[in-house]
Amino acid sequence: MALTASIFLTVYVEIAMLMVLPIYIFASKQGFIFWRRKQDVLFLSAFWVLSMVVTIYWGGTAVDILLGIFMIFAFAAMIFITYTMTQRTFRMILSFVCFMSPYCFLVALIQRALGMRWDYGARYCSVFTNPNYYAFYISLVVLFCIYNIVKSESPKMRIAYTALIPLNLLALELTECRTTYIVLLIVCPVMLFQCGKKKWGLIYLAILFSFATVTLLFNDSLAFLPRVDKITTDIAKRIDIWSGAIGSILDAPIFGRGYNTYVRIRDLYNAYGTAKHSHNLLLEVLMDFGLVGAAVLLGYFSINIGKIIRLHRQNKCHQRYALTVSVIVCVLLHGLLDITMLWPQTSLLIMYVVGFSTEYDKTHIFSTERRHEILPVHAHGVKKSASSKTDPPIL
């Protein structure tokens, strides 16, 4: 929860928390989790060594190498989260993230009231340093709210989560992120149908169809998108950026060129000069880490996702499965035009969803008598719930 809270205290506080986490793990004699998660350690260690060697080989700058070193802390957090997460903690984190969205909206409103401007204009980023990161967070919050509406047994809580959705859509206006509008239009019905809420999904599609029909009749189908007048220019910039990234991939397809490649190759391929990355998730991974690095990452995540699918087939955690599928779709759609999911604040939220899938979970999360070896305080809660034959209250 402290790690989650750090997201909303700027990325610098989160980075500090990530760097402190390994110290906490070993100081509290909990380093055994790395032995318990041998598969995760194997994949992530192989990827880290490969990425660092490639970065140094291609003449990575001090910033590039420091970025690679920081990944040690990110990987430690991934292993820690995967091992320690429980269903109750997961629900609490999702609820906390949702209820922090009004705070983020308030910060963005203050930025607007102060007339703040950045290199990208009067687009407000709240606590996320970039409006696109904030917009991606909003898309995740909408999915988390739908998940909590379906899972919550309290009518008041359902109303609260429902009210947060339009609030975040208003916040989305402040980011002026065109991609997120399209992503939400697609991913929300995916979430509803996967959750088994087919009627809600059909109502959503009916409203969407009506909206599309009206806008087409008035020949103004893209009017709801911000910065419509800049679409042509921005597409041209993207194509220029992608051409440079593809050129780098073709020249170093096996291992890539390491961290922060685009900044080092944009002049070499006459690509768009002010961009800091490839603005495409697949191109970014292939450009930085090549086919081998991409295969290692794909192997790691496919194993975790495969376990979620198996749990779903065993008639467990249908809503968790729906949320995972929806978040992955959200990531892939955003990844067509940007890499907002790779920022520390947003990637941690994705990590919670995708990484919450292990053999450990089958015994310790879904069992009513689960024990928690890392946080013994949970054991007391379990004894209480076991005696009453019911789970503890969930937000």
- Between 88 and 388, where is the model more confident? 88
Cα–Cα distance for residue pair 377/208, rounded to 1 Å: 47
Q: How far, in Å, are 46, 80, 214, 293 from residue 188 at the CA level?
A: 36, 30, 21, 32
> Is 328 contained in some domain?
yes
Q: Is the pLDDT of residue 376 over 50?
A: no
Q: Quick one: average pLDDT of 202-231?
A: 72
The pLDDT, as a whole number, for residue 329 is 92
> Is 20 contained in some domain?
yes
The pLDDT, as a whole number, for residue 394 is 37
Continuous H helices in 61-114: 62-84, 87-99, 101-113
Domain range for 19: 2-198+314-388
> Is 270 contained in some domain?
no
The pLDDT, as a whole number, for residue 372 is 45
- Averaged confidence pLDDT in the chain: 84
168-192: pLDDT as tens digits: 999 999 998 988 988 998 998 988 8
CA 294 to chain centre: 18
> Is 24 contained in some domain?
yes
**Longest pairwise C-alpha distance within the chain:** 68
CA 49 to chain centre: 24
3-state secondary structure 336-382: CCCCHHHCHHHHHHHHHHHCCCCHHHHHHCCCCCCCCCCCCHHHHHH
What's the structural domain count of the chain? Answer: 1
Q: Is the pLDDT of residue 370 over 50?
A: no
37-54: pLDDT as tens digits: 888 888 899 999 999 999
> Is 370 contained in some domain?
yes
Q: How far, in Å, are 92, 234, 342 from residue 349 at the CA level?
A: 13, 28, 11
> Is 307 contained in some domain?
no
Q: Is the pLDDT of residue 65 over 90?
A: yes
> Is 255 contained in some domain?
no
114-161: pLDDT as tens digits: 988 887 778 999 999 899 999 999 999 999 999 999 888 888 999 999
User: Residue 368 burial (CB < 10 Å; 0-12/13-18/19+)?
Assistant: exposed
Continuous H helices in 155-230: 155-175, 178-194, 198-217
> Is 232 contained in some domain?
no
